[in-house]
């Protein structure tokens, strides 16, 4: 596709349920990033993928959060046993190579707005 695609765009779930958020990066982009934007807060780094590997999972808030990437393309962020504090916009971004290259800008998806009731 032309850009980074995320689905669903909105998700309302009950506390305690599991949710899966999907990110389809720009074709050929090796680097993929997940961020979270809570109401009134800045963007927060969650996890980074280089290809299918996640060298840094340190941003994941708890062990209820996990992510995977398959085929060097689509990534899924899973939140188990959701809590109200998980409510936020979850944003995915991709870049051709890791950001240290100045010819590799970030491309963001429109995000998934997650509401836990």
> Rule CB under 8 A: which residues touch another protein?
31, 33, 41-45, 48, 50, 56, 59, 91, 93, 98-100, 102, 105-111
Min separation Cβ 31 and another protein, Å? 7
What is the distance between the alpha carbons of residues 114 and 101, in angstroms, rounded to a whole number? 32
Min separation Cβ 100 and another protein, Å? 4
From the DSSP assignment, how many helices (H) and strands (E) are in the chain?
A: 0, 11
Min separation Cβ 15 and another protein, Å? 25
42 vs 71, which CB is nearer to another protein? 42
What DSSP line would sit under 7-35, residue for residue? Answer: E-SEEEE-TT--EEEEEE--TT--EEEEE
What is the distance between the alpha carbons of residues 35 and 92, in angstroms, rounded to a whole number? 6
What is the distance between the alpha carbons of residues 46 and 34, in angstroms, rounded to a whole number? 5
25 vs 109, which CB is nearer to another protein? 109
38 vs 83, which CB is nearer to another protein? 38
41 vs 70, which CB is nearer to another protein? 41
């Amino acid at each position: 596709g032309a850009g980074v695609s995320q689905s669903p765009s909105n998700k309302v779930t009950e506390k305690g349920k599991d949710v899966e958020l999907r990110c389809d990066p720009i074709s050929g982009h090796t680097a993929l990033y997940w961020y979270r934007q809570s109401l009134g807060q800045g963007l927060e780094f969650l996890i980074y993928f280089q290809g299918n590997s996640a060298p840094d999972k340190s941003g994941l808030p708890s062990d209820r959060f996990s992510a995977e990437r398959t085929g060097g393309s689509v990534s899924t962020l899973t939140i188990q046993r959701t809590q109200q504090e998980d409510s936020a916009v979850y944003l995915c971004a991709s870049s051709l190579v890791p950001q240290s290259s100045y010819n590799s800008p970030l491309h963001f998806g429109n995000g998934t707005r997650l509401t836990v009731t």
